[in-house]
Amino acid sequence: MEARFVNRLEQIEKELAMAEAALREANEGKARVCARRAVALAVEASLERFPRPSWRGDAMNQLRQIQQEESFPLPIRQAAERLSTKITQRDTAPFTSNPIADAKLIIAYLISAEHDRKS
């Protein structure tokens, strides 16, 4: 693996650790933000290997791109939808009670060898 990709993986782990710490402190909003940032880092790592010009932007934009990417499995798209739902919409839209699990599901897909072959 190249150094940049390894660095991205380390940053992803750091964001996930901060998300877990935030949940332990009952700071759900911060946990969601950290989980989203971890996914954005995984998207960036994937884009470095398999460019998609329209996939630039912040974490929320990248989550929306994942939701709309029909080549991704439905569980990945659904996790992105739950993770991108705002707390104020938690009662009216798909919402995750475990942002870290949804983030890890998306991240695992984005960095997996199986995804690499499909891209």
We report the CATH number of the domain holding residue 74 as 1.20.120
| Residue 104: domain span | 3-118
Q: What is the pLDDT of residue 119?
A: 46
What contacts 48, CB < 8 A, 6 or more positions away? Answer: 4, 5, 8
Percent of the chain with pLDDT over 90: 49
- Report the domain count for the chain: 1
The alpha-helical segments, DSSP class H, found in 1-119 are 3-24, 28-49, 59-68, 74-84, 99-111, 113-118
User: pTM for the full model?
Assistant: 0.84
Query: Mean pLDDT over residues 5-27, rounded?
Result: 93
**pLDDT digit string, tens, across residues 35-67:** 999 999 998 888 877 777 666 778 888 899 999
Mean predicted confidence (pLDDT) in 73-93: 81
- Mean of all residue pLDDT scores within the chain: 84
Closest to 109 measured CA to CA, from 66, 51, 68, 56: 66
